Chains A and B, each alone.
Chain A
């Protein structure tokens, strides 16, 4: 019982401290905006640990964070193998192919307003569909290995990126395009020097949405069949064995990989679209 009460006490103390910090931090520095969410996250972990230990929750229902951490350290080679199979080969491979294809398609149909008017509603519609459902079909076509996962990812990321890129290519203003015309710029020059840079905030918006979709696609596609490695495979088999600490370890890796992937794209965005108002330092 001490565990439970200790955790609850810690939670209340951390909450009071956070409230106090948030209340008085009028001049909120970088430290505070990082510290408060960090403390909240730690509180959740402590509460989780305390509840599991205090109430003796069996590990087949909810393992404690410490047990998950021990499993992560114990199963590093397996986790690494799954990471390479699912994230690097499946998700990243499909992500690169799908995003490149989408941007190229957008540029190709950019010259035809007719196609644009036709593709935008269709693309928006497909982007809202449960595209994951196509996974069993693609697994049938491309086999069990990572190629089929990459194919699922390609289909999933294609339309969000396409729709955003088309919207982005229309983002440059009339005046700017007229200026390019007065300078005698060709179509290609206008595209490279004005319209693609102007489209970058939109394209990166689509790319960021696509990072999450890519991981989801790669993991879910493995539920439909995979070689004996990969995160989705490990999750579904470990669930079958009720080895929930392994499942949580995979989830932790997936969460970490997802955040890192997103962060990487956001970082590239910061470098490419430094001129955009949303990226300029407020002050």
Chain B
């Protein structure tokens, strides 16, 4: 809690800067309007005016919050204008992709740890693929799958899965290898085969690593789902909200969708953190 005051100060500074930016960036339009109408405006009038334009260049924080509130609670959650609806569409794809990606990642990590040939041949590519802007293939995956007749949730989830896959592989390999030689030797003196060593030593030892990479991959799979909604005219989801906002110049809508996405990401990471704490405590590994 020692960090509470500094964090609040920083947040307050950000909000203040935001307001200043809103005044600065929106005033141009106000001056133009006034010049066109042939009236003089005072500075205070301009400042007041920049706070509630319809299509501001940079909406003021309270406008974004109002937009967010309107989107979350202003209508029925089944409405096409509700952020709850769009957020749910995105969350569905995110969660499905997260589960697929994490499952495959853990399986591949187990294979890598137990098979030397796989380790030597797959691992360098897993690391190299991290340096490749994977998101660039997102539109292609969507279109190709659509041409195969697969639409809806799955294509987006595949992109999410792809993004959340590699953090899990790398983290799990590290985690499954984390028991040291002494512990492995002890298991051998007990006469344990590969199977018990895996279930009773390697898997429990990898849990802290797994949760650390789960947090990264949850955030990554949300990014994947949002980007997956950008191309090919998706009609629902936070990404589609961003895109339509940018087409029609609805800046408040973009910022509200962005804020909703941020809240979703934070909720995912916090949820995983909570599961992590409970799990590690029950396993007696809490620090």
Spell out A's residues near B (CB within 8 Å).
15, 18-19, 21-23, 32-33, 36-37, 39-41, 60-62, 114-122, 125, 128-130, 132-134, 136-137, 139-141, 211-212, 215-216, 219-220, 223-225, 231-232, 235-236, 239-240, 242, 244, 247-248, 250-251, 254-255, 258-259, 261-263
Contact = CB atoms under 8 A, between A and B. Distances in A.
B143 A239 contact: yes
Given A121-B7, A212-B130, A137 B254 contact: yes
Nearest to B116: A22
B219 A128 contact: yes
Nearest to A141: B57
- Most chain B beta-carbon neighbours within 10 Å: one of A22, A62, A116, A137: A137
B136 interface: yes
A115 B13 CA distance: 11
A19 B243 contact: no
Interface in B143-178: 143-144, 147-148
Interface string B19-30: 000000100000
B265 A254 contact: no
Contacts of B139: 223, 235-236, 239
A61 B246 contact: no
6 contacts: A118-B9, A120-B3, A224-B230, A224-B246, A258-B133, A261-B131
Interface of A is mostly: helix
B39 to A, nearest CB: 28
B181 interface: no
Interface stretch (B71-79, B194-202, B221-229): B221-229
A130 B223 contact: yes
A122 B120 contact: no
Interface of B is mostly: helix
A69 B123 CA distance: 25
Contacts of A40: 121-122, 125
- Most chain A beta-carbon neighbours within 10 Å: one of B121, B238, B245: B121
Contact of A122 (B7, B144, B219): B7
B222 A130 contact: yes
A32 B226 CA distance: 41
B10 interface: yes
B269 interface: yes
Given A130-B219, A137-B251, A41 B143 contact: no
A235 B140 contact: yes
Contact of B226 (A15, A36, A132): A132
B257 interface: yes
A130 B262 contact: yes
A251 B144 contact: no
Given A33-B120, A114-B6, A121-B7, A132 B227 contact: yes
Given A235-B139, A261-B131, A125 B251 contact: no
Interface in B90-139: 116-117, 119-125, 128, 130-137, 139
Contact of B148 (A19, A61, A254): A61
B215 interface: yes
Contact of B231 (A114, A216, A223, A262): A223
Interface residues of B, number: 63
B266 interface: yes
Nearest to B244: A136
Contact of B133 (A36, A212, A224): A212
B117 A62 contact: no
B212 to A, nearest CB: 12
Contact of B242 (A115, A116, A133): A133
A62 B144 contact: yes
A140 B135 contact: no
Contacts of A128: 215-216, 219, 265-266, 269
Contact of A36 (B121, B242, B245): B121
A105 to B, nearest CB: 12
B16 to A, nearest CB: 14
A139 B246 contact: yes
Nearest to A213: B133
Interface in B258-272: 258, 261-262, 265-266, 269
A137 B255 contact: yes
A219 B136 contact: yes
A15 B120 CA distance: 12
Given A119-B10, A232-B136, 8 more contacts: A40-B125, A116-B6, A121-B3, A130-B222, A130-B226, A130-B261, A130-B265, A254-B132
Contacts of A129: 219, 261-262, 265-266
Nearest to A16: B117
B36 interface: no
Contact of B6 (A36, A118, A219, A263): A118
A47 B147 CA distance: 23
Contacts of A236: 139, 231
Contacts of B254: 136-137
A258 B131 CA distance: 5
B82 to A, nearest CB: 18
Contacts of A36: 117, 120-121
Contacts of B121: 18, 22, 36-37, 39-40
B230 A223 contact: yes
